Amino acid sequence: MAIQWFPGHMHLTRKAIEERVKEIDVVIELLDARLPGSSANPMLAQLTAGKPALKVLNKQDLADPVRTQEWLAHFNALPGTRALGLDASMTAPAKALIDACFALAPKRGASMAKPMRVLICGIPNVGKSTLINTLKGKRSAKTGDEAGVTKIEQRIVLQDAFYLFDTPGVLWPRIIVAKSGYNLAASGAIGKNAFDEEEVALELLDTLRQHYPAQVETRYKLTGVAEQTDEQLLEAIGRKRGALQSGGRINLQKSAEVVIHDFRQSSLGRITLETPEEFAQWLAHGQKMDAERQVKKDAIELDRAIRFKKVPRPARGEPSGDKA
């Protein structure tokens, strides 16, 4: 099942970003260090194309440190881009962000006549509001553990001639990378009514048993995790956690909720669900599938237009539905 979630306020956010970005000097995109590729918004990349970009891997204290370094190297190799890791333990996050922005736009912020104007954006529940509160030293932004808390744009003055514009968390209209949908759901970036917990937990366990079996074994006191199927593992966790129904059957819904909760709370340890190489493969496959879907959609629309005589029928031997 493909996971999709694009509430109405996200359309308004997209329009707001389109207008604001015209006068922005640097774009900060806050990413989840546990899923940096999946939490990078392709719609934002399109809207902010040509602007210097700072990729901030937030919650790095919850992520696999080795994989975090791989992602930082990946982003830092991109033109016009800098990347840094961030977590709640950093004593001077404002200085790190401000210094990185000046490195990307050195001619801005020297005076009030040329202030540094920075747009900070990211997906829902990535920790943006919490970061802004830390930067300001007070509760200047509403926070919560549910996707989609911030609903309006805010302007924050970090220092003289340095303005930070905050926007609501926004996903993109259609997620074409299936694995990204599951990873986003597992992280809490997608509203809980938009996905099936059991399906998300099975996908999460598929990753964990391959790359972090020891951590799963430690958390749930299991053995042979890597050799089990996702379904067997979900049942074993439910049995260990007492998620039982009448007749001794496993309550898979409850078991799934336990797995997702433990991942979100970092009870399983420091975990990153994807590497740059893995995400590149998922993206290439998703783009291929999306192109094939579009070809089929175009053919159906053309056939419908022909049947209702909105366009002439192609001559015999002429390909129909091919708009190339």
pLDDT of residue 200: 97
pLDDT of residue 168: 77
pLDDT of residue 2: 62
Q: How many domains does the chain have?
A: 2
pLDDT of residue 135: 80
pLDDT of residue 24: 93
Domain-embedded: residue 309: no
CATH of the domain at 132: 3.40.50.300
> 61 with 87: CB under 8 angstroms?
yes
Looking at the structure, tell me whether residues 158 and 30 fall in a common domain: yes
Domain-embedded: residue 215: yes
Looking at the structure, tell me whether residues 252 and 123 fall in a common domain: no
Last residue of a domain, one of 241, 264, 287: 264
Find, among 215, 178, 224, the residue nearest to 199 by Cα. Answer: 178
pLDDT of residue 155: 83
CA distance 77 to 280: 15
Q: Supply the angle between the helices 197-211 and 230-240 in degrees, to the nearest 10.
A: 100
pLDDT of residue 324: 42
Domain-embedded: residue 96: yes
Domain-embedded: residue 288: no
Looking at the structure, tell me whether residues 162 and 223 fall in a common domain: no
Domain-embedded: residue 28: yes
Looking at the structure, tell me whether residues 49 and 100 fall in a common domain: yes
Enclosing domain of residue 214: 196-264
pLDDT of residue 290: 85
Looking at the structure, tell me whether residues 19 and 72 fall in a common domain: yes
CA torsion sign, 56 to 59 to 65 to 68? negative
Domain-embedded: residue 269: no
Find, among 110, 118, 116, the residue nearest to 29 by Cα. Answer: 118
pLDDT along the chain (324 residues), means of 10: 57 77 92 97 86 96 97 96 90 87 90 88 86 70 43 74 84 85 94 91 97 98 96 96 89 97 97 98 92 88 77 63 48
Domain-embedded: residue 41: yes
CATH of the domain at 219: 1.10.1580.10
Looking at the structure, tell me whether residues 36 and 91 fall in a common domain: yes
Looking at the structure, tell me whether residues 16 and 160 fall in a common domain: yes
Looking at the structure, tell me whether residues 65 and 213 fall in a common domain: no
Domain-embedded: residue 250: yes
CA distance 280 to 276: 6
